[in-house]
Chains A and B, each alone.
Chain A
Amino acid sequence: MPPAADAAAGAGAVAAAVADAHRREWAFVLAATVRVTRDIDLAEECVQEAFATALTDWRRTGVPARPGAWLTTAARRRALNVLRHSGVERRALPLLVEEETAPDPRDDGAHGYPDDRLRLVVTCCHPALDRPAQVALTLRLVCGLTTAEVARAFLVGEPTMAARLTRAKKKIAVARIPYRVPPPEELPARVDAVLTVVHLLFTTGHAAPAGEELVRRDLVERAVQLCRMLRGLLPRDPAVAGLLALLLLTDARRETRTGEDGRLLLLEEQDRSRWDRPAIAEGVALVREALRSRPPSRYALQAAIAAVHAEAPAWTDTDWAEIVALYGVLASVWPSPVVALNRAVAVGFASGPAAGLAALDALAAEPQLAGYGYLPAARADLLRRLGRDAEAREAYTEALLLTPNAVEREFLAGRLRALDGGPG
């Protein structure tokens, strides 16, 4: 092969290696660099430059054995240069507050860097920041998405997202939100906030609230990846195991949730042979582990419900009694009208549509469910199965009014057409 073609192939391999490192190592490199700069903006800038430098340097030197360590060294070196040459005058914001610990003696570059990702993620999800800011910061700083990508993920304009990120970073610096892992007694509450953000990312991606596609794959994959990172950082935390199980078991069905034509397929209609079996096996093992803690976390219980579905060879084999029981436990650790709604739907399968409807109608006055499209949709299905077509038609019409997602709307409209005697 001529040398030119060789170099071109090398460029492709290097670009792939850099992209891979960006996905896997961004949080690690940024977190370790913030440690040096104590300034998030400067650290972001230096990490971005380190990745850019890798694109050219790695073509010359080959891809290093530990890309994360290489990138961290490059970003930290760049940061030290900037700090040495411009001192403090470039700094618009005060330095981050760090805990006062002796520098780690292994922290010399030769043995790698201590893992600061937990500090980074709990800082991004600090309760003094509002939820949209937590989500945006996590995607930008922990996942390394660009501001434009974060804006796209949440269907807002780039200037809006840039302003949201700037405001959040300014608050971290000015209000002195500390860049540190909280003490053990506060850690569970802070991890819970992180898990809420990860779960929100996943559900936003899994059932996109608006738009033409049911699933926004990028968000779902980022959420799973973040959760795997947390699992690595907190291997004994049952809530983390529970959430990872829930994400894996739910996402295992991703490919079968819509038909070839983009139509929504219910659990009942999905081709179970195409479910992701390795993901299900991993999820089920995690559920078993997560359920050992008392009381079990809400994620572990939700994952256990997903596991019952995942392990049923066919829709007709579903253990509905078990699912109703699990929703009952879930309602006791995490009381929520949405949980009660799902339990009512499960009752409709375990004990028949009349029992389901009775359970559902008990929720009709729940203020939190007002305007929630899944309530009339669930009601419509139970009425349809009871042969109460006129009422079912009314409920489907109401559900359509409350459902913005195009794929879900098409499903509801199809059910409505079928009731009118047309093709489903």
Chain B
Amino acid sequence: MARYLILIYEDEARYATATPEVFGEITAEHDRFAAGVEQHGAKLLGGDALEPTATATSVRGTEVTDGPFAETKEALGGYYLLEAPDLDTALAVARTVPARFGGVEVRPVMTFD
């Protein structure tokens, strides 16, 4: 088994203008996603949604700046930590992550042994 971090990158502006109905839909999608992970032979170890990048503070050395580390149209907005036997399984799970305003990136977690 290996661990993968699924990083969710989406257009924040779309969330800023989304109606409560859309938010409700997306929340339900995430619940359904979480319930379906194990049928792929993987396990969800964790996951969170992040506050928008307007709330981010970046620190490089001693310099502190307001905003995210890199300004991009699609910003990191949440993640899931997954345990899966191989990349194909992780990608099968990643395809089911709700990300209607963007997409996800799958990164293997480094192991030290």
* Chain A positions near chain B (C-beta within 8 angstroms): 94, 97, 126, 128, 174-178, 182
Asked if B86 contacts A177 (CB within 8 A), the reply is: yes
Tell me the smallest distance from the CB of B1 to a CB of chain A, in Å: 9
In the bound complex, what is the Cα–Cα distance between A285 and B96 (angstroms)?
Answer: 43
Asked if A176 contacts B91 (CB within 8 A), the reply is: no
Query: Which residues does chain A contribute within 8 Å of B91, judged by CB atoms?
Result: 128
In the bound complex, what is the Cα–Cα distance between A97 and B91 (angstroms)?
Answer: 15
Tell me the smallest distance from the CB of A189 to a CB of chain B, in Å: 12
Of chain B, the residue at the smallest CB distance from A99 is B86
Query: Which residues does chain B contribute within 8 Å of A94, judged by CB atoms?
Result: 111
- State the main secondary structure of chain A at its contact with B: loop
* Chain B positions near chain A (C-beta within 8 angstroms): 2, 85-88, 91, 106, 108, 111
Q: A97-B86, A176-B2 are in contact. List 13 more A-B contacts (CB 8 A).
A: A94-B111, A97-B85, A126-B87, A128-B87, A174-B108, A175-B87, A175-B106, A176-B86, A176-B87, A177-B86, A177-B88, A178-B85, A182-B88
In the bound complex, what is the Cα–Cα distance between A177 and B85 (angstroms)?
Answer: 10
Query: Which residues does chain B contribute within 8 Å of A182, judged by CB atoms?
Result: 88
Q: List 11 A-B contacts (CB under 8 A).
A: A94-B111, A97-B85, A97-B86, A174-B108, A175-B108, A176-B85, A176-B87, A177-B86, A177-B87, A178-B85, A178-B88
Of chain A, the residue at the smallest CB distance from B91 is A128
Q: Which of B85, B88, B106, B108 has the most CB of A within 10 A?
A: B88
In the bound complex, what is the Cα–Cα distance between A182 and B89 (angstroms)?
Answer: 11
Tell me the smallest distance from the CB of A173 to a CB of chain B, in Å: 10
- 5 nearest CB pairs, A to B: A178-B86, A97-B86, A176-B86, A175-B108, A175-B87
Of chain B, the residue at the smallest CB distance from A127 is B91
In the bound complex, what is the Cα–Cα distance between A94 and B86 (angstroms)?
Answer: 12
In the bound complex, what is the Cα–Cα distance between A178 and B2 (angstroms)?
Answer: 12
In the bound complex, what is the Cα–Cα distance between A94 and B108 (angstroms)?
Answer: 12
Query: Which residues does chain B contribute within 8 Å of A126, judged by CB atoms?
Result: 87
Query: Which residues does chain B contribute within 8 Å of A176, judged by CB atoms?
Result: 2, 85-87, 108
In the bound complex, what is the Cα–Cα distance between A62 and B33 (angstroms)?
Answer: 62
Tell me the smallest distance from the CB of B81 to a CB of chain A, in Å: 16
Query: Which residues does chain A contribute within 8 Å of B106, judged by CB atoms?
Result: 175
In the bound complex, what is the Cα–Cα distance between A174 and B111 (angstroms)?
Answer: 9
Query: Which residues does chain A contribute within 8 Å of B86, judged by CB atoms?
Result: 97, 176-178
In the bound complex, what is the Cα–Cα distance between A406 and B85 (angstroms)?
Answer: 50
In the bound complex, what is the Cα–Cα distance between A214 and B93 (angstroms)?
Answer: 46
Query: Which residues does chain A contribute within 8 Å of B2, judged by CB atoms?
Result: 176
Of chain B, the residue at the smallest CB distance from A96 is B86
